Structure 1
Amino acid sequence: MPFLLVPALLLGVFVYGSLLWNLLLSLTSFRGFGDPDYSSLGPGMYTQMLGDPSFIVAARNTVVLMAGFTLLCTGFGLLFAILVDRDVRYEGTIRTIYLLPMSISFVVTSIFWAWMYNPTNGVINFVLSGVGLGFLTVDWLGDPGTKLLAITFALVWQFTGLAMIIFLAGLRKIPRDQFEAARMDGANLRVRYLRVIIPQLKTTMFSAVVVLILFSLKAFDFIFVLFGTFPGPGADILPVMMYREAFAANNWAYGSAIAVVLLIGTLISLTPYLYYQYKKDLL
């Protein structure tokens, strides 16, 4: 008990205590000067949030980024895992290549993709022009209509390898006898995967989705390096807005309120996974 008391105390003070203090701060009008006034708590910041067009745009972008990033990473990760699971040659080398982007920090990834998205000298527009698709060349990071798409694509490139490894681990746990039995019964390759293999990856898919959702909320680093605290309505997300309000505008109460909304949104996103695990444990 004395051994467990120390980490429990540190966790309680610096994690849960900070969450509670952040919640209280969001109910004040604290601007970063002096001490917060806790005598008159109220939902003023949350009321302001609902009428703030910037918050609405940032919340929409956050949901779109989370959904697009998670779906694409899950789809590509599952596809690559199936291809690698087919006993291809140099499997270890292929896994390393797919996982290599995961070893790169968000800062390096941001700079790397900023070069590639350069409208004049970037490789993206160069390749599009070279294959006769010059009409698709745009200023990817300057056009508000393509900013979020460019960010999503770069993040998918970085994290698809992680999804692939998670699915590959799930595939390797499925007995090969089932696959062979389905083949002997006359099922083609597509039916074998859709009816036999993929349905058994439900738990693995839940795990991959949860991890990817959490990583999508960490896109702050990527966007901050590219655009700073003012990415514009085309790329603004709630973590960036939270940082901007708290540290650039000294509106600590409003920034804390955005942080609370982010926490609630994350918990809501994780609820299906937690419920599934709970039901699984009961069985």
Structure 2
Amino acid sequence: MNRLLAFVRRVRRDRRVRTDGGTADGRSTARRWLDSDVVQSAPFWGPPFLLMGFFVYAAIGWNFFLSLTSFSGFGEPDYGDLSLDNYWAMLEDPGIWAATRNTLVLLVAFTLACLLIGLALAILLDHEIRFRRTFRTIYLLPFALSFIVTAQFWRWMYNVNVGIVNQAIGVFGLGPYNWLGNPQLVLGSVIFALVWQFSGYTMVIYLAALRSIPTDQYEAAKVDGASALRMYRRVIIPQLRPAMVSASVVLVLFALKAFDFLYATFGGYRPRQGADILATKMVREAFGRSEWAYGSAIAIALFVLSLAVITPYLYTQYKRGNL
């Protein structure tokens, strides 16, 4: 009995009776805040959040303010005289427009080619064929290579005199072509090399999505008399749309970060005319000409372009409840 009375007193002390007959939490606002899930989990998310905020987002903010100055690498930036002159100069710079055009061509052509080739490979390996595991490993192997290794490999492949590409087309009486020196061929050559490296990645994404489709849908389509082409076009490929969107975002971001591939391919940040993209233009302005403020403005333009790609994807995932 004494224990029961002590329990009742403790409950009454922790809760007070409201006038409407309900009960309300008797803890203070500060105590409720300290007991919240956000505060209790702070030791887990706090340090990564602070490190990410300082080294990434604070750096992006500082880079934006630097782009508003006239800093050229000497002395200290003058943050008292901020203007948009560097951004207006970008609009009048023919090199920026050429680099933007090359960036967009690289982005679109590279992404579409990887998606189509990856889909074809995934459909092929989804069937019961001999040595499909071996083929899957072969197709995925280039993705395991770094940009530097891939660049050196294709730099040798495209060599005018001893490159295997010119030797192969020479059998048909074509060439030799200066794949990396001709302004009309260089961007296509770069895109082809990148597609060779990343098609295996999209193949794996599509293959995982194909394996997740219930077999009942295949059987139902066959019972209805659908041909293989019609079944893939009407039943299977529409269900691969989430995988296609996810792969597209990753491919676009890789295309925007193709600086190291071009740097290794051409031996510096001055690629041949026709292969100059915003990333190489940014590094050349900052490190080559010491125009740090102008290079920062180009970096902000690249950041905005990346946001334009990733924001719709994140919004879609949020609406679906995946974030």
> Which TM-score bucket, shorter chain as reference?
over 0.9
1:272, 1:137 → 2: CA distance? 44
Match of 1:129 in 2: 170
Letter in 2 for 1:242: M
Q: CA-to-partner distance for each residue in 1:78-119, whole Å, 9 max, x for gaps?
A: 110000001222222111111110111111111111111111
* Aligned partner of 2:241 among 186, 189, 202: 202
Match of 1:151 in 2: 190
Report deviation, 1:133. 4.5
* Aligned partner of 2:314 among 267, 270, 274: 274
State percent identity of aligned pairs.
Answer: 53
Match of 1:176 in 2: 215
C-alpha RMSD of matched pairs (Å): 1.3
Q: Is the 8 A contact 1:32 1:252 kept in 2?
A: yes
* Aligned partner of 2:62 among 21, 40, 51: 21
Letter in 1 for 2:85: G
Residue 100 (1) aligns with residue 141 (2): yes
Gaps in structure 2 of 5+ consecutive residues: 1-41
1:34, 1:253 → 2: CA distance? 13
Letter in 2 for 1:71: L
2:208, 2:276 → 1: CA distance? 35
Match of 2:276 in 1: 236
Residue 259 (1) aligns with residue 299 (2): yes
Gaps in structure 1 of 5+ consecutive residues: none
Match of 1:79 in 2: 120
1:196, 1:4 → 2: CA distance? 42
1:7, 1:279 → 2: CA distance? 26
Q: Is the 8 A contact 1:54 1:233 kept in 2?
A: no
Q: Which TM-score applies when normalising by structure 1?
A: 0.96
Q: CA-to-partner distance for each residue in 1:210-246, whole Å, 9 max, x for gaps?
A: 1111111121111111221111331000111111111
2:148, 2:318 → 1: CA distance? 37
| Corresponding residue pairs, total | 280
1:276, 1:87 → 2: CA distance? 35
2:63, 2:87 → 1: CA distance? 13
2:313, 2:163 → 1: CA distance? 40
1:254, 1:100 → 2: CA distance? 39
Residue 112 (1) aligns with residue 146 (2): no
1:137, 1:269 → 2: CA distance? 38
Q: Which TM-score applies when normalising by structure 2?
A: 0.84
Match of 1:167 in 2: 206
Q: Is the 8 A contact 2:142 2:197 kept in 1?
A: yes
Match of 2:287 in 1: 247
Q: CA-to-partner distance for each residue in 1:182-235, whole Å, 9 max, x for gaps?
A: 011110000000000000111110001011111111211111112211113310
Report deviation, 1:160. 0.3
**Which is higher, the Rg of structure 1 or of structure 2?**
2
Letter in 2 for 1:141: L
* Aligned partner of 1:9 among 50, 65, 73: 50
Q: Is the 8 A contact 1:110 1:222 kept in 2?
A: yes
Q: Is the 8 A contact 2:186 2:272 kept in 1?
A: no
Letter in 2 for 1:155: L
> Which secondary structure does the structure 2 equivalent of 1:281 belong to?
coil
1:124, 1:224 → 2: CA distance? 21
1:2, 1:108 → 2: CA distance? 40
Letter in 2 for 1:99: L
Letter in 1 for 2:58: G
Q: Is the 8 A contact 2:180 2:272 kept in 1?
A: no
